Amino acid sequence: MLSFASPSWQTSVLSQVPKPGPLGSGAARLASLIVPRLYLSDYFTAHDEKDLTRLNITHVVSVLDRVPVIPDCISQENKLHISVSDRADADISKYLTQTTEFITAALAESEDNNVLVHCFQGISRSATVRA
């Protein structure tokens, strides 16, 4: 039997998105305000410097199986990457203490801080992570 490597579905989506920006930010969904100063979105929004600036995002939690490209408007110490696959059997629970501590510390640090939590589509993995 022959077997051919196939790209992940995320890679396939990225390759088909029009690319007005570095990653195709034109495909972004809007970020959703979950509680005051905590937003949920997809990868495209998290990659769009204009969206991050418009929302006054100061901290980003990325819940992806790939290393995210987050604009430099977010300092390196204000980025948290949790590598989790988009699969039903992925154990995201082992990261919840770390993500909760990061989000809680960011919000407590300053009234001006806003946190964006994202995964690829902004639906499953990111919605599991919260403060």
Query: How crowded is residue 123: how many other Cβ atoms within 10 Å of its Cβ?
Result: 12
> Do 120 and 86 form a contact (C-beta atoms < 8 A)?
yes
Task: Tell how far CA 118 is from the center of its chain.
Answer: 3
Which of 23-37, 39-53, 110-124 is predicted most confidently? 39-53
Class of the 23-128 domain?
alpha beta
From 23, 107, 119, 131, active-site residue? 119
**Cα–Cα distance for residue pair 35/100, rounded to 1 Å:** 14
pLDDT of amino acid 30:
79
pLDDT of amino acid 78:
98
Look up 119 and say whether it is catalytic.
yes
For residue 61, give both structure tokens: 């939690």
Q: State the average pLDDT for the chain.
A: 81
- Interacting residues of 20 by C-beta distance below 8 A, sequence separation 6+: 26
For residue 6, give both structure tokens: 């196939």
Q: Per-residue pLDDT tens for 58-92? A: 999 999 999 999 999 999 999 999 999 888 888 88
Residue 26 pLDDT > 90, yes or no? no
Q: Where are the domains of the chain?
A: 23-128
Which of 29-33, 41-45, 70-74 is predicted most confidently? 70-74
Q: Minimal CA–CA distance to 22: which of 58, 70, 56, 54?
A: 70
